[in-house]
Amino acid sequence: MTKTMSSVVGRIQTAAQTDHDPDIVARVAWTTVAVPGDELVGALIADIGAATALEAVFGEDPQPVEDLTVRRVRKRVHALGAGRVAFALRASERQGLTVVTPLEHAWPRRLDRLGPAAPVALWTRGRVSLLRRPNAAVIGDAPLSSRGLHATLELASQLAVRGYVVASSGAPGVDTAALLATVAVRQAPMAVLSRGIDDDGLGDDRRLSDRVAEAGVLVSEVSPGAPPDDYLTARGCRVLAAITDRTIVVEAGAHSEALATARFARDMGGPVGAMPGPVDVAWGEGCAFLLEHAGAVPVTTADDAAWM
């Protein structure tokens, strides 16, 4: 590690009393200062590396000729606090979380479709190898109708026993039901969270978080201890859409997060399915829109989803 790369990263390593790889330390630091999905930050990291970019933006030694991108990034990020980064690193170790970066084999290459808006790093709890397995997102809204609950449980369990990792945001309603169905048939769920893994659980259910982590994997681009932010929910939709092979919406309103996820998936060229249902109720409007105007294919069974 050169002196240029070590000054900022080195201070963080000292504060955290850790010997983590400099790239991991730098990426954790970036998650504490930049908005998730910031394309300017992502482009800078892709160009010169996470540790070098951190030094360029936050280093104490001024550069004779400073890159315009560095100046622009400096204006839009929060102040870097070694203590905040150290807390995230220590919390990760204490909670048994694994930080996965784009430089590692475990990184899900599907996320590369996001380009510079891809996560800087991922926090995971559970079976990291599942990140690269074939998968399907089964998502929707809350509250669930009785029809929607039955459809979610049947679709998720059928996909799971076929070998798909069943993914969702873990939000109450369809997303939680999909995870529960997968756990019930002793298969692998994946919850892609829009908040830190250290928060109070899936749908405020810590037991469900533990069950998902034991059977599958929890995933988040948000560092432990990050303050809650409604903006993160919208950003989390893009990660769920990008990390999965196919997206199926069971029930959703006209302005739901599930529709946002489906749009992200469609814009990246991913297959999108929607479950046909009544159009005269609020929870049917989203699927009707996807089927009529957004190129979604009708999905009622696991066969339909597999052939998308």
**Cβ atoms < 10 Å from Cβ of 253:** 18
**Could you tell me where in the chain the CATH 3.40.50.450 domains are found?**
124-306
Nearest one of 256, 259, 250 to 301, comparing CA atoms:
250
More confident residue, 72 or 229: 72
Is residue 195 predicted with pLDDT exceeding 90? no
pLDDT band at 19 (very low <50, low <70, confident <90, very high): confident
CATH architecture classification, 124-306 = 3-Layer(aba) Sandwich (3.40)
Average pLDDT over residues 281-285: 82
φ/ψ of residue 205, rounded to 5 = -120, 100
Which residue reads 């939709």 in tokens?
Answer: 237
Is residue 65 predicted with pLDDT exceeding 50? no
pLDDT band at 150 (very low <50, low <70, confident <90, very high): very high
Least confident of 31-45, 141-155, 226-240, 270-284: 226-240
